[in-house]
Amino acid sequence: MHRLGMSRAFDAVIVGSGINSLACGALLARGGWGVCILEREDVLGGAIRTEELTEPGFVHDTFSAWHPLWVGGPAHAELGEELAARGLEYLNTELPTATAFPDGSSAFLLRTTDANAAELGEEWRGVVEGFLPNADLAFGALGTELWSRAGLRLAFRALRRFGPRGLVEYVGGLLVSSRDWLTETFPSEGPRGLVAPWVLHTGLGPDAASSGFMTQVIAVAIQEGGLPIPRGGGARLVDALVQLIRGHGGVVEAGRDVERVVVRDGLAEGVRTADGEEVPASRAVIANVTPTQLYGRLLPGGPVRYRYGRGDMQIHFALSEPARWEGDERLNRTAIVHLTPGLDGVSRAVNEADRGLLPEEATIVVGQPLTIDPSRAPEGRGLLWIQLQELPRGHEWTEDERERYADRITERIARHIPNLESAILKRVALSPADLERANVNLVGGDPYSGALSLDQNFLWRPRPGHATEVKGLWHIGASTHPGPGLGGGSGTMVAKRLLR
Ligand SMILES: Cc1cc2nc3c(=O)[nH]c(=O)nc-3n(C[C@H](O)[C@H](O)[C@H](O)COP(=O)(O)OP(=O)(O)OC[C@H]3O[C@@H](n4cnc5c(N)ncnc54)[C@H](O)[C@@H]3O)c2cc1C
């Protein structure tokens, strides 16, 4: 094992190599800081991993796959050009998402307000026109450290715009559930069933407080920004960030488990790795870990009160030919197709998972990266990225149960893609337990590193920044505001504060 040696001191040591660490490390290194990132797994990138998981030539994004949050986020705004110069290229689509219903009908979300009004009804125009004038506040709340001067400025901006009564009404409107918002907005089931599954990608269910707001944010963001992915797989983003950090003299190492933050006189002075090395940090230790690990392992202390969300399963298919969908021909060209009976279907599956059951009719996310980036499979072949976000917390998974559940899901997909079963070259399923084994931050297979119910989101999620009484110790990652996803928000906020 390569060891850094005590002789080398860094300005900042970052624990873990998730997107927030890499964004933070890149900004700091570019700003002249000596940066060291230590990752316990053998592969860098955390929930971004690209590998030939099934067959040679089939390039799978094993965990996350879709990068609208990165491309629309603050780190990309700062670093995009430098990453492009290191070979990172984004591809996008005009057909981002659809829902295919059990009766063979489908509904599509397209890339302009006019096209979506034609597809979904004139109500859509009202959605966009109602959302866009205050989009700065919505995206501000998701991109600002709320417990800070910037957070206060955002609140004052809202107050000036709405006045006190208007502000209370506006904030009240943000608390509405997806179910109430969808049923009040759209008279028919098609648009409701198109948008409802997207609430799962925000970690919520359609009956949760604030899920209506999150659904609007995500639906409008997809119309405006599409679903960009990097040519060649998500790991190209990791590669480019690592190159940038190393290019500025930073160190990034895999296979280095950090077991302790070294604290002397209330000041974080570095970290100690499980192989016994102390790596000093003269200005900051930045931990991209869950609160459970931060307070239960890296620092002395006890367990903290922090709740994890539902589990996630991923299924990857290598196919001998492209998936051929029944019904609307556009399904063959759509990046993400959800399979669900509709709003009530999503609601029921979430509720079953919350009650500890495997849902009878799960919402199936069928991702088709080849519709955007054909380079990810040999010519004439097919590849699918499947995600199931409604699995019970704390369920004990055996390999046999995982495969039987994956069989059930495969049968359901095959009702919409009749050539699926005959085309399967290989299927690889990853249970929530497999996810946690690959990344300790995915506790119980929760892809979002912590439940996102209102009591643990926004102002109530751990703050990115000083998390503890320990000076010089900073907390970032999906467990901190603005939460999960590939935006790199918490890492960027902390880097900017340190550079100030
Ligand atoms: C299956 C799946 C699919 C997803 N799909 C999408 C998607 O398509 N689009 C999207 O925007 N978001 C998606 N998400 C969410 C998004 O990927 C994550 O929220 C995000 O990547 C988390 O980044 P992070 O910076 O918090 O760190 P993580 O990616 O969680 O990485 C943390 C890293 O820290 C390491 N680590 C932890 N403790 C230590 C230690 N003590 N010492 C050393 N290293 C340590 C871990 O090994 C890990 O590599 C998905 C998540 C999952 C799991």
Interval 270-313: pLDDT, tens: 999 999 999 999 999 999 999 999 999 999 887 788 999 999 99
Beta strands in 258-416 (DSSP E): 258-264, 267-273, 278-288, 311-319, 336-339, 364-367, 382-391
Comparison of pLDDT for 464 and 423, the residue scoring more: 423
Whole-number pLDDT of residue 6:
46
- Which atom of ligand 1 is the closest one to the Cα of 435? 53
- Which atom of ligand 1 is the closest one to the Cα of 43? 49
Distance 158 CA to ligand 1 centre (A): 32
Whole-number pLDDT of residue 303:
72
Distance 20 CA to ligand 1 centre (A): 9
Whole-number pLDDT of residue 465:
76
pLDDT surpassing 90 at residue 319: yes
- Which one, of 289, 283, 294, lies nearest residue 29 by Cα? 283
Q: Residue 148 burial by CB count (10 A; 0-12/13-18/19+): exposed, middle or buried? A: middle
- Which one, of 219, 176, 184, lies nearest residue 201 by Cα? 219
- Which atom of ligand 1 is the closest one to the Cα of 484? 19
C-beta of 440 in contact with ligand 1 (< 6 A):
yes
Residue 144: which pLDDT band, with cuts at 50, 70 and 90?
Answer: confident
Tally of CA atoms within 13 A in the half-sphere of 349 that contains its CB: 25
Distance CA 461, CA 361 (A): 31
Residue 2: which pLDDT band, with cuts at 50, 70 and 90?
Answer: low
Whole-number pLDDT of residue 463:
86
Least confident span in 170-179, 185-194, 252-261, 266-275: 170-179
C-beta of 258 in contact with ligand 1 (< 6 A):
yes
Nearest CA to ligand 1 atom 45: 16
Percent of the chain whose predicted confidence (pLDDT) is above 90? 87
- Torsional sign, CA 336, 236, 64, 483: negative
C-beta of 353 in contact with ligand 1 (< 6 A):
no
C-beta of 39 in contact with ligand 1 (< 6 A):
yes
Residue 165: which pLDDT band, with cuts at 50, 70 and 90?
Answer: very high
Supply 282's token pair: 């003269």
Residue environment code for 242-272, b if the CB has 16+ CB neighbours within 10 A, otherwise e: bbbbeebebbbbeebebeebbbeeeebbbbe
- Residue from 227, 238, 288 to probe ligand 1 pocket by mutation (most atoms less than 8 Å from CB): 288
User: pLDDT digits over 203-246, tens only?
Assistant: 999 999 999 999 999 999 999 999 999 999 999 999 999 999 99
C-beta of 221 in contact with ligand 1 (< 6 A):
no
Distance 441 CA to ligand 1 centre (A): 7
- Which atom of ligand 1 is the closest one to the Cα of 312? 1
Residue 19: which pLDDT band, with cuts at 50, 70 and 90?
Answer: very high
| 468: phi then psi, degrees, rounded to nearest 5 | -135, 180
- Which atom of ligand 1 is the closest one to the Cα of 258? 42
Whole-number pLDDT of residue 5:
53
Q: Which residues pair with 261 in a beta bridge?
A: 271
C-beta of 442 in contact with ligand 1 (< 6 A):
yes
Distance CA 374, CA 326 (A): 21
Q: Quote the mean pLDDT of the chain.
A: 95
| 290: phi then psi, degrees, rounded to nearest 5 | -75, 160
- Which atom of ligand 1 is the closest one to the Cα of 483? 19
Mean pLDDT of 24-41: 98
Residue 260: which pLDDT band, with cuts at 50, 70 and 90?
Answer: very high
**Domain 10-49+69-88+233-306+448-499: which CATH class?**
alpha beta
C-beta of 19 in contact with ligand 1 (< 6 A):
yes
Distance CA 458, CA 482 (A): 7
For tokens 């609208």, name the residue: 68
Whole-number pLDDT of residue 142:
81
Distance 234 CA to ligand 1 centre (A): 12
pLDDT surpassing 60 at residue 51: yes
Supply 337's token pair: 């197709």
Q: Which residues contact 54 (CB under 8 A, 6 or more apart)?
A: 60, 316, 317, 318, 425, 426, 427, 428
Nearest CA to ligand 1 atom 40: 258
Whole-number pLDDT of residue 439:
98
C-beta of 446 in contact with ligand 1 (< 6 A):
no
pLDDT surpassing 50 at residue 435: yes
Q: Most distant CA pair in the chain: distance in Å?
A: 68
Whole-number pLDDT of residue 3:
56
Distance CA 103, CA 88 (A): 41
Mean pLDDT of 32-60: 98
- Which one, of 253, 255, 257, 297, lies nearest residue 276 by Cα? 257
pLDDT surpassing 90 at residue 464: no
Q: Are strands 311-319 and 424-430 parallel, antiparallel or unpaired?
A: antiparallel
C-beta of 257 in contact with ligand 1 (< 6 A):
yes
pLDDT surpassing 90 at residue 113: yes
User: pLDDT digits over 83-111, tens only?
Assistant: 999 999 999 999 999 999 999 999 999 99
Nearest CA to ligand 1 atom 51: 447
- Torsional sign, CA 80, 81, 84, 90: positive
Distance 403 CA to ligand 1 centre (A): 24
Is the peptide bond prior to 133 cis by the omega test (within 30 degrees of 0)? no
- Which one, of 95, 3, 71, lies nearest residue 370 by Cα? 95
pLDDT surpassing 50 at residue 1: no
Distance CA 5, CA 15 (A): 17
Whole-number pLDDT of residue 171:
86
Residue 460: which pLDDT band, with cuts at 50, 70 and 90?
Answer: confident
Tally of CA atoms within 13 A in the half-sphere of 432 that contains its CB: 26
Mean pLDDT of 253-260: 98
Contact 46, 17 (CB under 8 A): yes
Distance 402 CA to ligand 1 centre (A): 22
Residue 43: which pLDDT band, with cuts at 50, 70 and 90?
Answer: very high
Distance CA 389, CA 313 (A): 7
- Which atom of ligand 1 is the closest one to the Cα of 69? 11
Rg of the chain taking only CA atoms, in angstroms? 22
Distance 34 CA to ligand 1 centre (A): 24
User: pLDDT digits over 333-364, tens only?
Assistant: 999 999 999 999 999 999 999 999 999 999 99
Whole-number pLDDT of residue 146:
83
C-beta of 66 in contact with ligand 1 (< 6 A):
yes
Nearest CA to ligand 1 atom 53: 447
Supply 418's token pair: 């009749």
Whole-prediction pTM: 0.97
Nearest CA to ligand 1 atom 39: 16
- Residue from 4, 36, 63 to probe ligand 1 pocket by mutation (most atoms less than 8 Å from CB): 63
Nearest CA to ligand 1 atom 50: 64
Distance CA 405, CA 392 (A): 13
- Residue from 42, 90, 486, 490 to probe ligand 1 pocket by mutation (most atoms less than 8 Å from CB): 486
